[in-house]
Amino acid sequence: MFRIILVPTDFSSCSRRAYDTAAELAVRFDGKIVLMTVVDQRILDSAGRLGLGPKRTVEAAALKETKRLFTRFVKTLRNRGRIREEAIVFGAPDAEIAKKAREIRADLIVMGSHGKTGPIDYVLFGSTAEKIVRMTPCPVLTVPL
């Protein structure tokens, strides 16, 4: 039923709970997990406009830090053997998650209902989980904090 489960993460405690839920489902349905994170291009573009350095330098620093966080996150996970693929991509999180779901033909997306964003981000960008529910061709399970 849920053979390919996409789990987007922002390394928050809520996304950790989402992974744990996905791992239980993967064991139950003999599925595999595709774990991904998205480096939000909008934030990088803003950093560039603030004069924090050339775009290429800012992106390289963001990728390096994201790889470090991703590696640390994966090391703490149970049922790591269920992970079929790990991906770090740049872009708008909602669009990139939906794109990945279509690309891998995900049967289910399991994600946290709340990420690292605060109330101002919500007003400006809206809830990523909300957008994913509307954009993807498969069911989405949101796991609360």
- What is residue 120's predicted lDDT score, i.e. its pLDDT? 42
Q: Is 91:74 a contact under the CB 8 Å cutoff?
A: no
Mean pLDDT of 15-34: 95
Q: What does the block give as tokens for 88? A: 């770090």
- What is residue 1's predicted lDDT score, i.e. its pLDDT? 86
Q: How many CA atoms lie within 13 A of 15 on its CB side?
A: 21
Q: What does the block give as tokens for 9? A: 């993460």
Residue 30 gets the label, from left (phi > 0), alpha (psi -120 to 50) or beta, of left
- What is residue 45's predicted lDDT score, i.e. its pLDDT? 76
Residue 118 has pLDDT above 80, yes or no: no
**Mean of the per-residue pLDDT values of the chain:** 87
- What is residue 25's predicted lDDT score, i.e. its pLDDT? 96
115 band by pLDDT with thresholds 50, 70 and 90: low
Residue 35 has pLDDT above 50, yes or no: yes
Mean pLDDT of 46-50: 70
Separation CA 99–CA 43 (nearest Å): 20
Query: Residue holding tokens 């960008």?
Result: 125
Residue 136 has pLDDT above 60, yes or no: yes
Mean pLDDT of 3-13: 94
pTM: 0.87
- Sign of the torsion formed by the C-alpha atoms of 95, 16, 18 and 116: negative
71-84 residue pLDDT tens: 999 998 987 889 99
Any idea where the domains of the chain sit in the sequence? 4-143
Mean pLDDT of 97-104: 96
Q: Which CATH superfamily is domain 4-143 in?
A: HUPs (3.40.50.620)
Cα-based distances in Å from 78 to 15, 17, 47, 67, 103:
14, 11, 35, 19, 26
Q: What does the block give as tokens for 17? A: 């709970």
